Amino acid sequence: MTKFIRVTSAIASLCLAAVPAVAVVTAAHAAPTPVVIKVSDLNLSRPGDAARFQNRVKMVTRTFCEAERAPLQHTACQQAIASEALSKLSAAQRDSLRIGTSGSVLAASLR
């Protein structure tokens, strides 16, 4: 009987030791990965740099929205990311971007 208790106790201890490790691994996969769209190297009032910013936003939307197979969901995902990217810009950067993108598709979402 003593051997049975020791074996059972050892197995239970190993199982309890594994629970925190599983929780840490699960939490690591659940955390969203932050994405940074670099704008410090751009002068957004210049059309070429405004286009580079727009391309960077498009690359991020492709990465995050590729799993959305339904066209409406894909479009909503793209719009949400573009909207968030624009909201993270300072007021001066948004003003510069308005100048650099005048007449483009992105200019409509800046209003």
pLDDT digits (tens, 9 = 90+) for 37-92: 888 898 888 888 889 989 999 988 888 887 766 777 888 888 888 888 888 888 88
pLDDT value of position 10: 58
Same domain, 52 and 86: yes
Number of domains making up the chain: 2
pLDDT value of position 95: 86
Mean pLDDT of 104-110: 53
Q: Is the pLDDT of residue 12 over 60?
A: no
In a domain, 58, yes or no: yes
Same domain, 92 and 57: yes
Same domain, 25 and 57: no
pLDDT value of position 39: 86
Q: Provide the pLDDT confidence category of residue 15 given band limits of 50, 70 and 90.
A: low
Same domain, 54 and 27: no
Same domain, 56 and 25: no
Q: What range does the domain containing 23 cover?
A: 1-31
- Find the Cα–Cα–Cα–Cα dihedral 105, 59, 85, 30, rounded to 10°: 140
In a domain, 36, yes or no: no
In a domain, 20, yes or no: yes
